[in-house]
Copies of this chain bind each other. A is one copy, B any other.
Amino acid sequence: MAQRNTVQRALVLKTVQGMQGAHPTADEVFSYLKVAQPAISRATVYRNLAVLHENGVLNRLKVPQGADRYDTPATTHQHLHCIICGKVEDITLESFKNTLEEAQSKAGYRILNQETVFEGVCPACQIKKREGEKE
């Protein structure tokens, strides 16, 4: 139960926090840390991301295609995923203010977390698609 303060755990957390809005995957965190800490292990990164997520320090985000991504849960927010370029963005929607309460009362669940991903095409990719008009 007693968790320790390891250098690696602190680094993993700091890395995700530092990659503001990048929603890095475990592998991206690993590659980043590898530069400063060549001895670090991929397994350690996975393990620490899991621990930090269980502690509620990090959010884990499941995106169609590819690996899970991590997030600092400053405030409850939603995600946009561009199916063309693959980028993930944060967005905070007013209409989500009551969803948690509604789900809770309607279903009788004790809800701990909510994860929303909108799948679509980002403005930049809409323009690109319009320019390369052959498709």
Contacts and interface: CB of A to CB of B under 8 A. Distances in A.
A43 interface: no
B119 A91 contact: no
A99 B95 contact: yes
Copies in the assembly, this chain: 2
Main secondary structure of the interface of A (DSSP, over half): mixed
Interface string A87-112: 00101011111111011101111111
Per CB-CB distance, the 9 closest pairs between chain A and chain B, nearest first, are A111-B120, A62-B62, A108-B123, A109-B120, A113-B119, A116-B116, A110-B121, A95-B99, A95-B98
A91 B108 CA distance: 11
Interface size, A (range)? 35 or more
Interface of A: 60, 62-64, 78, 80, 82-83, 89, 91, 93-100, 102-104, 106-123, 126
